[in-house]
Amino acid sequence: MTDISNDTPARGGSLLVTDARTKRRNRAETRFKAYGIAALAVGMAFLVALLWAILSNGLTAFSQTYVQLDVPLLEEKLDKDGDRDPDKIAKVSTFGYKPLIEAALTDLVAREGIETELDGKALTKILSDSAAAKIRDRVLADPSLIGQTVSFDLLASSRVDGYLKGRVSRESLARDKNLDAAHLDLVDTLREAGAVEKRFNLAFITGADASDSRPEQAGIGVAMLGSFFMMLVVLILSLPIGVAASIYLEEFAPQNRLTDLIEVNISNLAAVPSIVFGILGLAVFIQFMHLPQSAPLVGGLVLTLMTLPTIIISTRAALKSVPPSIRDAALGVGASRMQAVTHHVLPLAMPGILTGTILGLAQALGETAPLLLIGMVGYIATNYPDGVAEGFLAPNSAMPAQIYEWAKRADPAFYERAWGGIIVLLAFLLAMNLIAVLLRRRFERRW
Amino acid sequence: MPPIWTALIVLVIAAAGFVLARARARGAARREARRLHSLLHYYGWTAAIYAAGPALLLLALWLVAQPVVTRSLTWPVLQAEAAEGAVPSLMMADVQRLAAGLDTAASSGRLSPEAARALPPEELRAVMADQGVALGSDVTPATRDAALRWQRVSGLGHLLRDIAVIGLALAGAAWGISRARPDIRARNAVERAMRGGLIAAALIAILSTVGIVLALIFNTVEFFRLYPAAEFFFGTTWSPSFGGGSELGILPLLWGTLYISIIALIVAVPIGLFAAIYLAEYAHRNVRSWAKPMLEMLAGIPTIVYGLFALLTVGPLLVEAFGRGGWLGLGWMQGGTAVMTAGLVMGIMLIPFVSSLSDDIINAVPQSLRDGSLGLGATRSETIRQVVLPAALPGIVGAVLLAASRAIGETMIVVLGAGAAARLSMNPFDAMTTVTAKIVSQLTGDADFSSPEALVAFALGMTLFVITLALNVVALWIVRRYREQYE
């Protein structure tokens, strides 16, 4: 009778037996679902691979090889006149300390009864270049040590450190002029004797960056301070400005051309590539306003402009979620609109605003590209800022910029530092996100 | 007096104005708040705002204007020398540094301005070096005179500034105190001022856009004055050399950008879309509650991490597979940095962008559509393919466009993962470079901002800005239009 029955194949047999077409459709259904699961699994696999790469490569940066050495601080080398005059002691440069270290190493080898073809000068290659400076600093701080034999924990050189961490092998040393297999034999024996050991490396977290030739000494502490001052600038500027702008747009703005323009602007600013903000910072803050290059202040200003849209968008959502009845009640008992907003709406929206601000800050903390343009890389952050004003204005690095800087250097020992730096950075981001989530859980209110 | 001190004094005056005005209002009301139009503290705030507002505004304007005025007043001294071919900007920089050095010397009492005037100009550089002030070149008599003039003019300017700002603050406070009368509507005045502040904050969003556009336009125009626009947009060679004679064609960079973005989207769109479909249509609530945040973690990881992942993990892995003597024995890849490396890693980064936006959009498709389709006997996958996806398509296209704009503007992954060679090649295992990577390489280092090699970065930035802005406007328009359809 109807056309339909002509198109569809007539169903014969039992309903309990699935026909070929139904089977095909069911297979397609299973396949489709499998695609979804596979896609999700691939996404998760990428996440796991990323985290695994970070942890497996970076955790080693938190331990470091030290050599325990009894160094005789000979009076005839360090203080010839014997009057402990700090000025005269300061005149002995790090070169003056090198023979002492040589002697101490030779002594150590002899005392442990180790046979090695290496002589004094070659022996010092297992130590970091910074060893002499460390001893000198200690002596300058306490001249009374001169004449005694003092035990020092000195950094091993990055090759030795890499050997203990499995990064450097005897084969890879064949083309390396800094260290031979003989050194590694020596390190093995010293390790058994307990003079060489791997230890937790606090200096990586608190320390300063070091020059190209001393990866073992490099730390992320100074860059962390740079990031801290930048975040301070971002917080101080973007929170009040962002909240004020959102209050205006959400509570007071009439629907007109100007507010439309502002709205479109904010949603587009949120999507402008970060590098463009770097160009803006370079052209406006450095070229035009002559603010100092590499300063956390400038970095903070650029990141503020980037973070503002994020904060405004989340603050508006928080304000919107406060029900109109609150405003109506306030207005009803005689408050002005401004009073209704500042006394009632804003306090109720505060948890949401703070959550959005923390997330915006976390985003700003990890941002690198604009910092490259305002000169926060290429700068070796070796000194802590001397004070608060210095902290804002003196050249510094920032955590992501420091990681980039390490990733660019030639010595693979710096890669370990870069991964380690990422762990520190991610720890901060994780903490900030956790705080945001907890804030949301604690104060979230369903109206 | 440094400006920060001036500002602090203004704030102290404002605080005093607050206390005095409140006291006066209280006196006028004869301790009976009912007689006043507004609450007591509003009278205080009126005075504080009158005192601090205009004064701080004047201070800010003065800080911006003074260097410009001083420069134009100092310039005549240097004019004769500038005519001989010296670079004006460098000369002015030297003059400013010398003036600053003279200031510190005068304040530490080592060199009074009179003594500096008497000193022969040749010796000034050495004297300044003692002060820790490094000068670019030897001091000429004109430079010295200009520096002394700069010092005098700016000193006078600072004095005038302090007098004007503090005077204005005092006048404002007095005016505010005089208006602490019961019949004055203090609350309305304060709220008007607050509202003005709110509007000003909202305008900053516009200001920063204007700042971006102006900074880009000025420098781009400057660049096109030095380098023909046609060669920039249609040139196929990119070989900047700071010695001159560079070829700055954007096409190889655009090609690299597009190639990497396409690979990234090929990775991100299927994975992101299928993940979103699964999460929205199939997944149990429990699975969804942990799988969605985990995917979104990928979006929260900073791009420098992805860059390092590309450089140190993915790149070497790909070389082992596709490089010379690799597992596949293809020998297609020369080094770890390649279009494929950057594209793959960028794809991973974009998965959550595609998945969360698509997830939202699929969830916004009304349940009645699904119920209708299922009721007619369609399987779930048929419902998704033939009903849900067509309904959600515009929104998904918007999401993909947003992801594309992200990919085009991404910097760190390509700086670390894609290489530095600008070339037009079809091989995805070649190193190529992108617009963003070249902006970084042209603007880091001590390039001077007058050479076309540095200025080209602004033209590149302008191109990037226009492309991403266009993509965004279109994407947001599509997404918004689509949302309205079902609301």
> How does pLDDT run across B403-426, given as a tens digit for each residue?
999 899 888 888 888 877 777 777
Interface test with B, best of A11, A19, A32 (most B CBs within 10 A): A32
Residue that finishes a domain, picked among A165, A200, A235: A200
- The confidence score (pLDDT) of residue A20 equals 85
The domain tally of chain A equals 2
Is residue B447 scored above 60 in pLDDT? no
Q: Given this model, what pLDDT does residue B315 score?
A: 85
Question: At B284, is the secondary structure helix, strand, or coil?
Answer: coil
Top-confidence residue, B109 or B201:
B201
Chain A residues with CB under 8 Å of B312 CB are 53, 57, 407, 415, 418-419
For chain B, what is the mean pLDDT? 81
Residues A245 and A155 in one domain: no
- The distance of A270 to chain B (nearest Cα, Å) reads 10
Residue B456 belongs to some domain of the structure: yes
Query: Does the pLDDT at position A246 exceed 70?
Result: yes
CB contact under 8 A, B208 and A305: yes
Residue A418 and residue A300 share a domain: yes
Together in a domain, A287 and A400: yes
If asked whether residues A285 and A140 sit together in one domain, one would say no
Picking from A31, A248, A365, the nearest residue to B199 by CB comes out as: A248
Residue B14 token pair? 């404002």
Residue A25 forms contact with B (CB below 8 Å): yes
Same domain for A351 and A320: yes
Question: Which amino acid is located at A56 in the chain?
Answer: S
> Does residue A399 sit within a domain?
yes
Beta strands in A101-146 (DSSP E): none
Largest CA distance in chain A: 123
**Residue B329 pLDDT:** 67
Lowest mean pLDDT, pick from A177-181, A193-197, A353-357, B61-65 = A177-181
**B198 min Cα distance to partner chain A (Å):** 5
* Contact criterion met (CB < 8 Å) for B211 and A369: no
Judged against a pLDDT cut of 70, whether residue A255 lies above it is answered with yes
Task: Check pLDDT > 90 for residue B269.
Answer: yes
Shortest CA gap A391–chain B (Å) = 17
> What sign for the dihedral angle of Cα B216, B218, B219, B224?
positive
Please answer whether residues B343 and B267 qualify as being in contact, where contact means their C-beta atoms are separated by less than 8 angstroms.
yes
Reference B69, options B156, B168, B169; nearest CA is B156
Looking at residue B431, what is its pLDDT?
Answer: 81
Option in B194, B201, B436 nearest A275 (CB)? B436
- The whole-angstrom separation of Cα B444 and Cα A39 is 40
Task: Among A368, A379, A403, A405, pick the best mutation site for testing chain B contact (most B Cβ within 10 A).
Answer: A368
Domain of residue B60 covers 3-184
Do A267 and A373 lie in one domain? The reply is: yes
Structure tokens at A289: 């306003």
Please tell me whether residues B179 and B247 are part of one structural domain: no
Residue B270 pLDDT:
93
Question: Would you tell me which residues 324-353 of chain A have a C-beta closer than 8 angstroms to some C-beta of chain B?
Answer: 336, 338
Residue A66 lies in a domain: yes
* Domain identity same for A171 and A241: no
The answer to whether residue B10 scores a pLDDT higher than 70 is: yes
| Residue B70 touches chain A, beta carbons under 8 Å | no
Give the residue-averaged pLDDT of B64-73. 78
Q: CATH number, domain at B344?
A: 1.10.3720.10
Q: Note whether A412 contacts B: Cβ–Cβ < 8 A.
A: no
Selecting from B205, B406, B409 the residue whose C-beta is nearest the C-beta of A308 gives B205
CB spacing of A407 vs B216 below 8 angstroms: no
B396 versus A167: the higher-pLDDT residue is B396
Q: Which residue has the higher pLDDT, A149 or A435?
A: A435
Name the residue among A154, A148, A135, A150 with its Cα closest to residue A68.
A154
For the stretch A14-55, pLDDT in tens is 777 888 888 899 999 999 999 999 999 999 999 999 999 999
Q: Is the pLDDT of residue A177 over 80?
A: no
In a domain, B301, yes or no: yes
- The pLDDT of residue B267 is 92
Give the rounded percent of residues in chain B with a pLDDT score beyond 90. Answer: 10
Together in a domain, A226 and A148: no
Output the six-digit token pair for A189: 């024996």
pLDDT at B129: 64
DSSP state, residue A82? -
**Structurally, how many domains does chain B consist of?**
2
**B194 — contact with chain A (CB < 8 Å)?**
yes
Domain stops at, among A152, A168, A200: A200
Q: What is the mean pLDDT of residues B269-281?
A: 92
Q: What is the pLDDT of residues B340-370, one digit of tens each?
A: 888 999 999 999 989 988 888 888 888 999 9
Same domain for B342 and B411, yes or no, is yes
A196/A262 same-domain check: no
Q: Which residues of B touch A37 (CB under 8 A)?
A: 278
Residue A408, domain CATH: 1.10.3720.10
Residues in chain A: 447
- The percent of residues above 70 in pLDDT, for chain B, comes to 84
Q: Which residue has the higher pLDDT, B74 or A345?
A: A345
* The predicted structure's pLDDT at residue B125: 66
Shared domain for B246 and B385, answered yes or no, is: yes
Looking at the fold, whether B169 and B243 belong to one and the same domain comes out as no
% chain A with pLDDT above 90: 12
A206-222 pLDDT, tens digit each: 878 777 778 788 888 88
Show which of B184, B203, B226 is a domain's final residue: B184
- Tokens 């000494």, located at residue: A217
| Best mutation target, B209, B253, B476, to test chain A (most A CBs within 10 A) | B209
Checking if the pLDDT of A1 tops 50, the result is no
Residue B323 shares a structural domain with residue B470: yes
Residue of A nearest to B276 (CA): A36
In Å, how far is A214's CA from the nearest CA of chain B?
21
- Dihedral over Cα of A249, A252, A255, A261: its sign: negative
How high is the pLDDT of residue A378?
60
Q: Is A234 on the interface with B (CB under 8 A)?
A: no
**pLDDT > 70: percent of chain A:** 92
Query: Residue A249 carries which DSSP code?
Result: I
Query: In angstroms, what separates the C-alpha of A284 from chain B's closest C-alpha?
Result: 7
Check if the beta carbon of residue A418 is closer than 8 Å to that of residue A407: yes
Contact list, B439 vs chain A (CB under 8 Å): 275, 278-279, 373
B279 in Cβ contact with B385 (< 8 Å)? no
- Asked whether residue B179 falls in the same domain as residue B253, the answer is no
Same structural domain for residues A310 and A348? Answer: yes
d(CA B460, CA B304): 22
Cβ neighbors of A68 (< 8 A, separation 6 or more) are A151, A152, A153, A154, A194, A195, A196, A197
**A119 occurs within a structural domain:** yes
Give the closest residue to B335 by CA, choosing from B347, B320, B345: B320
User: Of B185, B445, B194, B178, which Cα lies nearest the Cα of A379?
Assistant: B445
- Which residues of chain A are within 8 Å of residue B291 when distances are taken between CB atoms? 40, 44
- Across A274-298, average pLDDT: 82
Please indicate whether, in this complex, the C-beta atoms of B216 and A279 are within 8 angstroms of each other.
Answer: yes
Say which residue, A167 or B126, is predicted with more confidence.
Answer: A167
Domain final position from B184, B216, B250: B184
- Tens digits of per-residue pLDDT, A54-71? 998 888 888 888 888 787
Last residue of a domain, one of A200, A232, A267: A200
Alpha-carbon span B341 to B430, nearest angstrom: 10
Name every chain B residue with its beta carbon within 8 A of the beta carbon of A271: 402, 405-406, 468-469, 472
Contact A32 B270 (CB under 8 A): no
Query: Where is the domain boundary, B162, B184, B206?
Result: B184
Q: Of A193, A204, A207, A208, whose CA–CA distance to A70 is shortest? A: A193
Q: At what angle do helices A20-58 and B339-364 cross, to 10 degrees?
A: 130
Name every chain B residue with its beta carbon within 8 A of the beta carbon of A257: none
Average pLDDT over chain A, rounded to whole?
81
Question: Are B296 and B174 found together in one domain?
Answer: no
Interface membership of B454 toward A (CB under 8 Å): no
Nearest CA in chain B to A281: B212
- At residue B274, does pLDDT exceed 90? yes
The CA-atom distances, in angstroms, between A179 and each of A17, A125, A157, A225 are: 77, 7, 10, 35
Do B129 and B258 lie in one domain? The reply is no
Say if the Cβ atoms of A400 and B203 lie within 8 Å.
no
Query: How confident is the model at residue B445, as a pLDDT?
Result: 61
Chain A interface includes B212 (CB < 8 A):
yes
- Which is it for the CA torsion B398, B400, B403, B408, positive or negative? negative
**Using CB atoms, which residue from A57, A241, A373 is nearest to B443?**
A373
Give alpha helix (H) positions in B83-140. Answer: 88-107, 113-118, 121-130
- What's phi and psi for B87, nearest 5 deg? -80, 120
Chain A residues with CB inside 8 Å of B203's CB? 262
Judgement on whether residues A165 and A275 belong to the same structural domain of the protein: no
Highest mean pLDDT among A282-291, B382-391, B425-434: B382-391
Q: Would you place residue B118 in the very low, low, confident or very high pLDDT band (cuts 50, 70, 90)?
A: low
Residue A267 lies in domain: 221-443
- Please indicate whether residue B478 or residue B258 has the higher confidence score (pLDDT): B258
The answer as to whether A3 is a domain residue is no
Of residues A50 and A198, the one with the higher pLDDT is: A50
Q: Are residues A367 and A431 in the same domain?
A: yes
How distant is the Cα of B118 from the closest Cα of chain A, in angstroms? 31
Domain membership of residue B208 (yes or no) is no
Task: Tell me the average pLDDT across B177-182.
Answer: 79
Given a cut of 80, is residue B310 above it in pLDDT? yes
In A363-402, the residues whose Cβ lies within 8 Å of chain B are: 363, 365-369, 372-373, 375, 377-378, 400
Q: Do B300 and A429 touch (CB under 8 A)?
A: yes
Return the axis-axis angle of helices B186-226 and B452-486, rounded to nearest 10°.
130
Residues B322 and B422 in one domain: yes
Residue A2 has pLDDT above 50, yes or no: no
Which pLDDT does position A382 carry in this prediction?
Answer: 67
Domain presence at residue B190: no
- Residue B227 scores a pLDDT above 80: yes
Q: In angstroms, rounded to a whole number, what is the distance separating the alpha carbons of residues A119 and A99?
A: 12
User: Is residue B198 in some structural domain?
Assistant: no
- Assess whether pLDDT exceeds 60 at residue B487: no
The two three-digit tokens of residue B50, written as one number: 């009158």
Name the nearest CA neighbour of A249 among A235, A263, A270.
A263
Compute the average pLDDT of residues B38-52.
Answer: 83
- pLDDT at position B103 is 72
Q: Any CB–CB contact under 8 A between A149 and chain B?
A: no
pLDDT at B157: 83
Does residue A105 lie within any of the structural domains?
Answer: yes
- The backbone torsions φ and ψ at residue A149, rounded to the nearest 5 degrees and listed phi first, read -105, 120
Establish if A12 belongs to a structural domain.
Answer: no
pLDDT at residue B194, as a whole number: 87
Which positions 50-69 of A are in contact with B (Cβ < 8 Å)?
50, 53-54, 57
Q: Are the beta carbons of B136 and B52 closer than 8 angstroms?
A: no
Best of B63, B305, B318, B354 to mutate (most A CBs within 10 Å, chain A): B305
Q: How many CB pairs under 8 A join A and B?
A: 256
CB contact A404 to B (< 8 Å): yes
Collapsing DSSP to helix, strand or coil, B185 comes out as coil
| Residue pLDDT, tens place only, B88-101 | 666 676 777 777 77
Which among B244, B283, B469, B446 has a CA at the least distance from the CA of B363? B283
